[in-house]
């Protein structure tokens, strides 16, 4: 082989040529990079229509939002934005710069429209080389009545005075996803588009309203659980959609403090509701019951936590976990549906049909909100279209599945009827024997029922006799003091000049009889009150010293002798009931106490319990009578010498139980005096039901 040799000069010339080309290429690249720093101006002329600002925008991030308009305009951190803005959830202030070249001023100017209805603060400034002018201030932080244009998303009019070069600066802040398109509309085209959009929204939500009404009627007629769950699902989706589009905010003027929280809570709740719908469509409860149940609980817990974060003002903290969890759930459910579809699981086919388009739309929308996909017409409306198709397919599947289940049940019922007909003859033979046994049992039950009726009749007779005895006793007990009052009053009236001692004695008789009447009335009324389980206690701080001092005035001087221990002698109780109980104990002791002797009352507190002991020197109580002392209407042999209804000690026991205490016979007499002890809690009363 011949080897070629090249002269040295030729080699040097070739090297110089390649070096020159490399330097030229590098210089061209540097020039292209230098020119790429500034975006090309957006050309505007008098032609009607829409111009998208994508590709003409520059972006500047202001982390703490401290840059003024002039500082932002002259800052060096501007970078070209190849498409629309998609910054995800961020607290940073984002500036957009749009150079505009106006060749001819259109009649009515142009409308600058931001596609995101959930931006909190939007300020658009216009620079003409001489200074800056605020074109408009909009966003959810601004009351709707102060928006420059009444529209669902921020729209600000741009009407330059003359052709020329202008710069538009847009300042954006939002706790929601900072993702938006900037569109420049001719005024007439924008008006026409608004009308078309209103018509489309009417058709869109009319479709949902029709679907909701149909399923509401279907659920009302069938009470199908899946249909009711679907109503909650579609209602939540429609609510989130209208809030995301800003329609509710536009129509009602709802403030951002409410709208963002309502939307965030709605999105958070939609996660477990959508999961429940997906699990029901896949019928996972039949395959993995425990896993499905615990997954739903975990999703509800996450949804509640994220909703709480949204309600407390941490919108991004609440929404980003929901959207990331939704994305992972979509991937997991899609993978699981593919696995079950491969295994031949029939519900997976319906799931793939109904949820496939929906998951694609939601996936694209979430990736757009997280800043992973560009913002354009497709990414903005693919979720809406996918949701509509998903709802329609899901509705048809639910109705069809219910119809198939209904037909299956009808076939089962028909088969069951045939089986019943075949078994009818065998049942007749068994029923004859069964009926015979039942008749014997019925006879036995009738005998037992007759015995129960006889027992009930006997009980009714005893109750009636007891009531009649009670009425007779009340009449007798009331007649005696009334007769005393009448006789003493007549004697006073007939002899007004009688000696003072006789008049005072007669007045004392009237007073004693009246006090007896009052005591009887209190006993009977308290007895009726005790028979009402719903009677509420009126708890107060009761001073036992004052209460006993007040009761002492109802008895002769020196008859009641009180012995007090240390302390304030105060209990928390129902003062009215406690007074009646103490008066009955004192009256009982007074009746049986020997003349000239005193009734001794002792108060002492032990371990948070107040013990009230009432003792009198009287006849000994027989052991056979001690257990019956607190029975209703019972009067022992010692009580026959004194008037009474037999309710005193019974009421004391009933009141003590209602007040959370006890009463008992401490001493039956003999060597020691007869003593009754009433024990009550000092600090709190535990009500006892009758």
User: Could you give the CA distance from residue 477 to residue 523 in angstroms, rounded to a whole number?
Assistant: 12
**Token reading at 429:** 């033979």
Same domain, 184 and 212: no
Domain assignment of residue 654, yes or no: yes
Residues 6 or more apart whose Cβ sits within 8 Å of residue 651: 523, 526, 527, 530, 580, 581, 584
Task: Output the DSSP codes for 304-373.
Answer: HHHHHHHHTT-HHHHHHHHHHHHHHHHHHHHHHHHHHHHTT-HHHHHHHHHHHHHHHHHHHHHHHHTTSS
88 shares its domain with 163: yes
23-42 tens-digit pLDDT: 344 433 433 333 344 678 88
Going by pLDDT thresholds of 50, 70 and 90, the confidence category of residue 521 is: low
Give the mean model confidence (pLDDT) for residues 632-661.
Answer: 70
Provide the domain count of the chain: 3
Whose CA is closest to 142, among 20, 257, 299? 257
DSSP strand pairing (599-606 vs 560-563): parallel
Q: What is the pLDDT of residue 458?
A: 87
- 119 CA to centre of own chain: 30
Same domain as 391, residue 347: yes
Q: Name which of 3-7, 125-129, 504-508, 628-632 the model is least confident about.
A: 3-7
Q: Are 514 and 483 a contacting pair, CB within 8 Å?
A: no
Distance CA 259, CA 78 (A): 33
312: which residues sit within 8 A by CB, 6+ positions away?
none
Cα angle 676-681-684, degrees, rounded to a multiple of 5: 150
Q: Which domain holds residue 380?
A: 198-407
Computed from CA positions of residues 582, 584, 587, 591, in that sequence, does the dihedral angle turn out positive or negative?
A: negative
Collapsed DSSP state (helix, strand, coil) of residue 492: helix
More confident of the two residues 99 and 578: 99
Q: Is the same domain home to 168 and 206? A: no
CATH code, domain carrying 128? 2.60.40.2380
Taking each helix axis from N to C end, the angle separating 187-222 and 377-494, rounded to the nearest 10 degrees, works out to 60
Determine how many CB atoms are found less than 10 A away from the CB of residue 682: 18
Cα 166 to Cα 126, 162, 407, 422, 575: the distances in Å are 7, 10, 71, 93, 88
Q: Do 164 and 293 belong together in one domain?
A: no
95-151 pLDDT, tens digit each: 999 999 888 887 888 899 998 888 889 999 999 888 899 999 998 888 888 899 989
Q: How far is CA 97 from CA 88, 121, 325, 541, in A?
A: 19, 16, 35, 76
Q: Give alpha helix (H) positions in 186-255.
A: 187-222, 225-244, 247-252
Could you tell me if 223 and 127 lie in one domain? Answer: no
Q: Is there a single domain that holds both residue 87 and residue 149?
A: yes
Q: Give the per-residue pLDDT at 530.
A: 55
> In the chain, pLDDT over 90 holds for what percent of residues?
9
- Per-residue DSSP letters for 610-642? EEEEEEE--PPPPHHHHTTTTSTT---GGGTTS
Lowest model confidence (mean pLDDT) among 170-184, 268-282, 462-476, 497-511: 462-476
CB under 8 Å, gap of 24 or more: what pairs does 595-601 form? 598/558, 598/559, 598/560, 598/561, 599/555, 599/559, 599/560, 599/561, 600/561, 600/563, 600/673, 601/548, 601/560, 601/561, 601/562, 601/563
| Beta strand spans in 63-201 (E) | 79-81, 85-89, 93-102, 110-114, 121-127, 132-138, 155-158, 164-173, 177-180, 182-186
Task: Determine, yes or no, domain membership for 468.
Answer: no
Q: Are residues 566 and 673 in the same domain?
A: yes
> Across-strand partners of 98?
168
If you average pLDDT over every residue of the chain, what do you get? 79
Q: What's the pLDDT score for residue 617?
A: 83
CB atoms within 10 A of CB 7: 8
Residue 37 included in any domain:
no
The answer to whether residue 484 is domain-embedded is: no
Query: What would the pLDDT profile of 554-565 be if each residue is shown by its tens digit?
Result: 777 788 888 876
CATH assignment of the domain containing 580: 3.30.565.10
Residues 241-261: pLDDT tens digits?
A: 888 888 888 888 888 888 888
Radius of gyration of the chain (CA): 47
Q: Domain end: 351, 381, 407, which one?
A: 407
**CATH number of the domain bearing residue 254:** 1.20.1070
Same domain, 546 and 669: yes
- Domain-embedded: residue 55: yes
CA 275/CA 294 separation, integer angstroms: 12
pLDDT tier, 434 (very low <50, low <70, confident <90, very high otherwise):
confident
CB 119 within 8 A of CB 85: no
Q: Is residue 240 part of a domain?
A: yes
Do 180 and 314 lie in one domain? The reply is no
Which residue from 52, 221, 253 is spatially nearest to 140, judged by alpha carbons? 253
Which secondary-structure segment (H or E) carries 512?
helix 500-530
Give domain status of residue 420, yes or no: no
For tokens 């049942």, what's the residue? 427
Same domain, residue pair 338 and 383 = yes
Three-state secondary-structure class, residue 676: strand
In a domain, 205, yes or no: yes
Residue 460 neighbours by CB under 8 Å, 6+ apart = none
| Helix-then-strand count for the chain, H and E | 16, 20
Q: Which residues contact 647 (CB under 8 A, 6 or more apart)?
A: 523, 524, 527, 632, 633
Separation in Å, CA 296 to CA 262, 362, 390, 434: 22, 20, 22, 49
In this predicted structure, what is the pLDDT of residue 642? 54
Reported as a single tens digit per residue, the pLDDT across 333-385 is 888 888 988 888 888 888 888 888 777 887 787 776 666 777 666 776 777 78
Among the three residues 166, 194, 222, which one is the final residue of a domain in this structure? 194
Reference 239, options 266, 274, 257; nearest CA is 266
From 385, 407, 429, the end of a domain falls on 407
Same domain, 207 and 161: no
Q: Would the pTM of this model clear 0.75, i.e. be above it?
A: no
């Amino acid at each position: 082989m011949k080897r070629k040799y090249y002269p040295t000069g030729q080699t040097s010339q070739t090297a110089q040529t390649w070096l020159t080309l490399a330097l030229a290429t590098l210089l061209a690249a540097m020039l292209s990079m230098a020119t790429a720093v500034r975006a090309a101006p957006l050309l505007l002329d008098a032609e009607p229509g829409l111009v998208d600002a994508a590709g003409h925008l520059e972006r500047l991030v202001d982390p703490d939002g401290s840059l003024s308009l002039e500082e932002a305009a002259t800052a060096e951190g501007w970078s070209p934005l190849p498409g629309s803005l998609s910054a995800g959830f961020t607290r940073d202030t984002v500036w957009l710069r749009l150079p505009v070249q106006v060749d001819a001023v259109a009649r009515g100017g142009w409308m600058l429209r931001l596609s995101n209805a959930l931006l909190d603060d939007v300020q658009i400034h216009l620079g003409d080389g001489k200074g800056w002018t605020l074109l408009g201030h909009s966003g959810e932080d601004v009351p709707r009545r102060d928006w420059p244009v009444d529209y669902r998303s921020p729209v600000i009019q741009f009407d330059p005075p003359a052709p020329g070069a202008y710069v538009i600066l847009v300042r954006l802040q939002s706790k929601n996803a900072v993702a938006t398109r900037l569109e420049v509309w001719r005024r007439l085209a924008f008006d026409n588009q608004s009308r078309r959009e209103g018509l489309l929204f009417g058709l869109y939500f009319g479709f949902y309203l029709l679907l909701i009404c149909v399923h509401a009627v279907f659920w009302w007629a069938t009470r199908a659980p899946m249909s009711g769950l679907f109503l909650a699902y579609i209602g939540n989706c429609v609510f989130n959609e209208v809030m995301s589009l800003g329609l509710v905010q536009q129509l009602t003027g709802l403030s951002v403090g409410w709208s963002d929280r309502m939307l965030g809570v709605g999105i958070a709740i939609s996660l477990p509701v959508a999961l429940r719908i997906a699990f029901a469509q896949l019928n996972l409860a039949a395959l993995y019951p425990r896993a499905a149940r615990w997954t739903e609980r975990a999703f509800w817990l996450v949804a509640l936590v994220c909703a709480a974060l949204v309600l407390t003002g941490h919108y991004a903290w609440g929404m980003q976990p929901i959207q990331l969890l939704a994305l992972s759930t979509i991937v997991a459910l899609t993978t699981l549906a593919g696995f079950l579809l491969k295994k031949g699981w029939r519900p997976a086919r319906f799931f793939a049909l109904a949820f496939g388009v929906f998951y694609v739309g939601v996936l694209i929308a979430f990736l757009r909100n997280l800043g992973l996909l560009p913002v354009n017409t497709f990414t903005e409306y693919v979720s809406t279209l996918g949701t509509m198709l998903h709802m329609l397919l899901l509705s048809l599947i639910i109705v069809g599945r219910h119809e198939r289940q209904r037909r299956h049940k009808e076939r089962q019922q028909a088969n069951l009827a045939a089986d019943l007909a075949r078994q009818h003859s065998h049942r007749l033979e068994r029923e004859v024997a069964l009926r015979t046994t039942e008749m014997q049992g019925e006879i036995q039950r009738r005998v037992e029922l007759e015995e129960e009726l006889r027992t009930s009749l006997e009980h009714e007779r005893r109750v009636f006799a007891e009531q009649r005895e009670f009425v007779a006793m009340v009449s007798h007990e009331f007649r005696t003091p009334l007769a005393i009052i009448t006789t003493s009053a007549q004697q006073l009236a007939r002899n007004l000049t009688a000696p003072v001692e006789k008049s005072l004695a007669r007045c004392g008789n009237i007073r004693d009889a009246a006090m007896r009447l009052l005591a009887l009335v209190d006993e009977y009324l308290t007895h009726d009150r005790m028979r009402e389980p719903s009677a509420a206690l009126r708890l107060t701080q009761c001073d036992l010293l004052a209460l006993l001092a007040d009761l002492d005035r109802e008895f002769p001087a020196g008859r009641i002798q009180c012995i007090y221990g240390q302390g304030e002698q105060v209990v928390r109780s129902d003062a009215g009931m406690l007074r009646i109980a103490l008066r009955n104990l004192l009256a009982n002791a007074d009746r049986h106490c020997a003349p000239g002797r005193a009734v001794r009352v002792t108060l002492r507190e032990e371990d948070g319990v107040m013990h009230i002991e009432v003792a009198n020197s009287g006849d000994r109580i027989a052991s056979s009578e001690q257990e019956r002392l607190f029975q209703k209407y019972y009067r022992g042999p010692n009580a026959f010498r004194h008037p009474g209804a037999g309710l005193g000690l019974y009421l004391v026991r009933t009141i003590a139980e209602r007040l959370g205490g006890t009463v008992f016979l401490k001493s039956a007499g003999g060597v020691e005096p007869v003593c009754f002890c009433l024990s009550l809690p000092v600090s709190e009363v535990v009500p006892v039901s009758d």
